[in-house]
Structure 1
């Protein structure tokens, strides 16, 4: 019975993974071969030898980069079940605590890889939906003028829909994408039957000969081949939602065979009819099936885009929890799934960037020139971080770990270098976007560190202070005061200001520090650490994982069960509100200080972030010179 239940659960999770995880890589056949043979400044000449060479490179790239590197290898590096580049960075940092310089380098690499994810996130919706809608031009040239308006309308509706949450249509994603992959496979098989010798591309010699015959052309072609791999990082990033085994089963059981069959089917079509290069994906289908295929393709690309947008929301929440991003407004869109969230600021920023891309590049072939450099940059950083994990965490030797990572990193850097050639064609855009995010994240991290040092430098020690607060030294009033602080060993500035201006203390004083840990979730029994201090002072440390939803009132309920005297109706929350002042000659350039101050001023309220009742909050301000 348990065995049947486990199999049923595995099948259900695999179906869900097909709908969420594989949308990006699953829609790559829409534009990959067309881009390689017609796009950019250096298209590959269309002839049978080159077709076999490109197909061989695509097949073996899928096998080595996706199947081996991500599905079989990288997915073993999980942080308590969670994947993604930030989880990998945390694993690496955990083993480098004694080496400050290396620790800083690894942290910067991880942040930069996460920032590049946003660069990828603005292109995926644009190129996917645009390439799908372009199928209308194949049906009738009269539709050409409607491609851009329809694409903009579809994407606008998608971003508007985000506030509703993807949970409402999530059940449809799996079956729709299963149908999509099934049709990819069928179209591919029908074409391969007409030109079966295209299967010769399974031999890696065709790829090697193609690269050796014209090394420069082969090198440039890698910039197009990588389009077949976009979305590989999502397999790892979404591991926490579905688990390793369902994602692996879905890849080897359906997605990989369907992709290979479709790419080879397009290659067979091009061998039979070179004019089909106008759009080899849609021309695989018979005329009567073209409009239904355009509709299905559009739905599939919307699902792919939905996954990338949701991934940006999840990445931002992780960044906030780990201290790399200011607090932002965050809405929970599902009562059952904690992962279903909506961040309006990120949503509208992505929408604006995507619309600019659509209106600026106007065709999927032009957009493909901008696609790839962010993806390959993240892939290379993943390999570097993985080396630290296999050495420090798994105990692999230098030779074993070094040889494997060198092999994988060589491939990553080859793809990255080939895409770097396309920077002037549009690759600069996601790179600039990612660098902008990197600047903001590092500025926030460094600024928070400086602010913490300034506040800690002037703070009084909590335990001796509590010992002096007897009944004779200060008037005590009924109730409980909770003072939020980042330094549980020091006296919060808000507490001192309250005493200075109001001349009183509450009967019970709780100094509460929230710790965001580098693990996904914290168990309830590990969430609270309570220490009673003299004169009814209490030190309370509350822990949350980077995928937990911070909720201080719920945490205080746990503390009350452990003996902390708390009555919600008689509890007030005191929060310090710092006004920051830049200073010449500080540890950060003045322009970055001003950038941090602007971010700090516009950060979301701690009240909403921690779900504190607004009518129980007292804010007390202070000035801090950075």
Structure 2
């Protein structure tokens, strides 16, 4: 929604500058959006240096434009008093509630501040917000109000009417550049959130490419990029077709308000959980602070719910679909783990059997990737059953994602010698880290377990999932999970394991 409404609202300035270009607004918007998504694979390392200066010029410009109108009509500053808002609601509660939903759009964008916490320190974000963004936005909004007090006909697009005629085209160009940068931030945030969802077990493994050799946070997720491009273009075309009588950005604004008010309400609820479970606040303290936020969030949320029939259902439907996919994957992996655990053999029992009937040991190292730290990897049992051999050294490797963004190299792996050439290795990663087998083997060497990758065979389980009537998951969700599993990125590619050294052991599992 952010790329669609931001780029579209910027390009709509063409209608103000030259009404004859009104029919070009949608095509130009689509060209800009498609171009924006097509260049994602190249990253932003080369042009990222100009983002800051461009946004600084943007905020300074809108601040000056607003200030010029405030000087002409200083009476607008009386709006600071809550008396006028209270009187407006008292005179017509229903209309006031409707206006509340529209007014909410002035704070949209604030939710994106959270997306930057992983890339910038909180002090830098606070300085940029309170020192630059907030003052300039307030000046511009008050300036628009001042303009409307003097000329009500400017209501069709008060922002562009702030500028003199000669400045319209430069302002449109600057607004378009600023909205592209804002859209880029949201797209990059979507990539980052997707990687975190994969690491936390709420999404299938996806192809993730790094677009910068210097900035580890700059990544590109092809599937997400294609999906966002398709949805964004469909939104622009769909909302334009739904009501051609008013600007398309106004049509999308309803959906945007529903999405953002819901997000902010959920953020407050998550804040309560965080304060109780992580910060260990008392119930009273957490409830009071969260309650203050809810006093603001709930009225805005309720006001925006009035827009559901006029397009607000779109973000809710998209969110429901994504939620279904994420919970299906998480629940499916949980059930799959239980099914595999039912077939596993206790490690003590395996070692006892090997001592009683020692198999043929062959030179080299075998690394068995396993999803849990308990039991024996089924791939090892299948290999022993069918091939009757065992490598001189056997390593059980488990990749674990911790509830922190990053895990230091010093804490990357733990190595435990079990005996008889068996080792158990647990590699820990943060939800913003990228698992890498070379990184794991290098960390093992520091722990006195030298595993040369050249002489190592990696054994992976490859399950064929079959939907059944067993309890745990409805048949249609089991089919959906099986489809997602078949189309997930192969473990060899995700963990960067040399494909020619991988031995996959198949198994059929009923869900």
Query: Where does residue 232 of structure 1 map in the other structure?
Result: 110
1:266 equivalent in alignment to 2:151? no
State the Cα distance separating 1:185 from its structure 2 match: 0.5
The answer (yes or no) to whether the contact 2:343–2:378 under 8 Å persists in 1 is no
* TM-score scaled by length of structure 1: 0.79
The answer (yes or no) to whether the contact 1:576–1:620 under 8 Å persists in 2 is yes
Equivalent residue for 1:166, pick from 44, 60, 80: 44
The answer (yes or no) to whether the contact 2:405–2:431 under 8 Å persists in 1 is yes
5 Å-filtered alignment, 1:149-548, equals 149-362=27-240, 363-470=248-355, 473-548=358-433
Aligned residue pair count:
504
Partners of 2:285 and 2:347 in 1: CA distance: 50
State the Cα distance separating 1:565 from its structure 2 match: 3.5
The answer (yes or no) to whether the contact 1:456–1:487 under 8 Å persists in 2 is no
1:568 equivalent in alignment to 2:453? yes
1:592 equivalent in alignment to 2:470? no
- Report the secondary structure of 1:426's partner residue: helix
Partners of 2:138 and 2:317 in 1: CA distance: 33
Per-residue CA distance 1:159-187 (angstroms, 9 max, x = gap): 00111112222111100000000001100
- Report the secondary structure of 1:469's partner residue: helix
State the Cα distance separating 1:271 from its structure 2 match: 0.6
Change (3 A) 1:396 1:205: farther
Query: Where does residue 76 of structure 1 map in the other structure?
Result: none
Partners of 1:435 and 1:544 in 2: CA distance: 29
Which of structures 1 and 2 has the larger relative contact order (alpha carbons within 8 angstroms, sep 6+)?
1
Partners of 1:436 and 1:147 in 2: CA distance: 30
1:552 equivalent in alignment to 2:429? no
The answer (yes or no) to whether the contact 2:466–2:508 under 8 Å persists in 1 is yes
Which structure 1 residue ranges, 5 or more long, are not aligned?
1-122
The answer (yes or no) to whether the contact 1:466–1:537 under 8 Å persists in 2 is no
Change (3 A) 1:249 1:562: same
Query: Where does residue 243 of structure 2 map in the other structure?
Result: none
Change (3 A) 1:404 1:536: same
State the Cα distance separating 1:427 from its structure 2 match: 0.7
State the Cα distance separating 1:131 from its structure 2 match: 0.6
State the Cα distance separating 1:586 from its structure 2 match: 1.9
5 Å-filtered alignment, 1:23-102, equals none
Partners of 1:302 and 1:465 in 2: CA distance: 59
Query: Where does residue 93 of structure 1 map in the other structure?
Result: none
State the Cα distance separating 1:145 from its structure 2 match: 1.1
Partners of 1:430 and 1:590 in 2: CA distance: 27
- Report the secondary structure of 1:339's partner residue: coil
State the Cα distance separating 1:467 from its structure 2 match: 4.4
